[in-house]
Structure 1
Amino acid sequence: MFGWIDANIGNDVKSSKFIRALVTALVESQATTSNDGSSIRVADDFETKMKTRLAVVLKYVDSNEVLEMQCIYALQALSVKHQHPPGLLEKCFNAFYDSEVVSEEAFEEWSKSDDPEEQEGKGVCVNSVKNFMRWLKEAEVEVEETDSHA
């Protein structure tokens, strides 16, 4: 797959458009789509399946916070497109974080972002991942406390 992408996409692999398309295709390929294609749902093993396929996204995002944000915006747009399927965004956020595709800094930046181009459905999305964001903040505090006791 990497060979095909490199040969056919070339330098555009670092573009926002490519990253968004890659993330969207990956997530939609792992979700169950309704017969009319208007909605998706995620099975219990969705997060595990996502983690096994995120290496391709990791290769092209490569710790670039701008591209990490594009991953999150793609997930947000996908959630909006499919009317906010239960568990979709939280499972995706967990998988992207655990696979080191998206950093905690990028998630924090997304939650604070007021980019007018990225506001559609954001309130619902932020609400749907509040447990993840709370966990992220608590984990960050634990790390800081551990570091200060060292």
Structure 2
Amino acid sequence: MKRDRFELLSAYLDGEVTPEERRLVQTWLSHDPTAKCLYDRLMVLRHGLREDDAPDTCEADVTLAGVFQCLNRRFRMVTMAGAGVVVLGVLNVLSGTVGPSPARWSLANQAADEVVISNTLQITLDQPAFPIPDPMATPADGTSLKSPGTFPLGTDL
């Protein structure tokens, strides 16, 4: 109901109503205070839209200057951000947190046959770190590694 009133009042203001609708809206305005309040609000809104703050004439030079000012501001922001990233990168490289460290270079420069003794863990790829027992071999005490019984699918170990 309220939406119908709003649409009918808006159409009344635009002059798009039939004579019967015009009489109905005039009756609302004379007897219903809520309809009168809505009508007044629509009139204020309509008046505000007509007296917009936009300039009457828009010169091309002023518009062009505003566009270039906006583009220059954006370019300065991108340039400052890029310069900041470059400065941070240089500081990281100079502080040694990123890039090759002298210890890495010294290890690379040593001869291949030279043994490096350090406190780091060294693993050889051709020998395991601990002995792995052969599952088919018989233990020293003579017992078998095979478990008695069968596994679920009827296969023996």
The two structures have a TM-score, normalised by structure 2, of 0.25
Greater fraction helix: 1
Larger radius of gyration: 2
The two structures have a TM-score, normalised by structure 1, of 0.26
